């Protein structure tokens, strides 16, 4: 039986409005797969109380996966994971100063005990976070499994239908 979904299953949070240019790609992936989500600016440094409240309430509101994107000293995914047992997918936003290497290392090096599933820096990571969230949900919602398989097939067809320009 297909589960009926009325409210967001994925919460996308980001440290700043400036992160949206990256994090919208997670939103785009979820939209393409039909997964309901919400998106909000929640900063570990500028709105720490809001972060704690968000993470503590998320499961009770029906959120099942959190995607957290941040740049620089990117504490948001780790602190969010510290306050919820929901799976947290971390997206390192590409910073201007260090091209996102700072963001990546801030997110990926969690000490044992509180995991954050860390994606690639920037757009690819945000897109894959959306896809991975859907794959996590697919264990429970068959419609998302089908959507993922369709997405991958379209991707394969597109590659096969477009030979390298100028090469026989
Ligand atoms: C981090 O600082 C945010 O996640 C953002 O990537 C970075 C810069 O934020 P803004 O100065 O653009 O608000 O907290």
Residue 24 sits in a domain of what CATH number? Answer: 3.40.50.1970
In short, whether 18's Cβ falls inside 6 Å of ligand 1 is yes
**102 within some domain:** yes
What value does the mean pLDDT take over residues 103-128?
Answer: 98
**82 within some domain:** yes
Per residue in 51-62, pLDDT (tens digit) is 999 999 999 999
ipTM of predicted assembly, 2 dp = 0.96
Residue 80 and residue 107: Cα distance in Å, rounded? 11
**Total structural domains in the chain?**
1
Per residue in 122-168, pLDDT (tens digit) is 999 999 999 999 999 999 999 999 999 999 999 999 999 987 877 76
**Burial of 157 (C-beta count, 10 Å sphere; 0-12/13-18/19+):** exposed
Measure 139 CA to ligand 1 centroid, in angstroms: 34
Q: What is the pTM of this model?
A: 0.94
Q: What residues have CB less than 8 Å from 58, skipping those under 6 apart?
A: 11, 66, 84, 86
Measure 15 CA to ligand 1 centroid, in angstroms: 6
Task: Give the atom of ligand 1 at the shortest distance from the alpha carbon of 43.
Answer: 14
Q: Is 100 helix (H, G, I), strand (E, B) or coil?
A: coil
Beta bridge partners of 117: 89
Instruction: Residue 21: give the domain boundaries.
Output: 10-160
């Amino acid at each position: 039986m297909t589960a009926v979904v009325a409210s967001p299953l994925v919460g996308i949070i980001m440290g700043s409005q400036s992160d949206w240019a990256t994090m919208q790609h997670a939103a785009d992936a979820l939209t393409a797969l039909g997964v309901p989500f919400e998106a909000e600016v929640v900063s570990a440094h500028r709105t720490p109380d809001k972060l704690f409240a968000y993470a503590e309430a998320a499961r009770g509101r029906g959120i099942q996966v959190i995607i957290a994107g941040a740049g620089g000293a990117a504490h948001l995914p780790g602190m969010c994971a510290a306050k919820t047992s929901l799976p947290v997918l971390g997206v390192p936003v590409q910073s201007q100063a260090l091209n996102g290497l700072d963001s990546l290392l801030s997110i990926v090096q969690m000490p044992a005990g509180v995991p954050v599933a860390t994606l690639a820096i920037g757009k690819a990571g945000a897109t894959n976070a959306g896809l991975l969230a859907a794959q996590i949900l697919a264990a429970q919602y068959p419609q998302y499994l089908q959507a993922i398989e369709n997405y991958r097939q379209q991707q394969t067809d597109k590659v096969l239908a477009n030979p390298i320009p100028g090469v026989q």
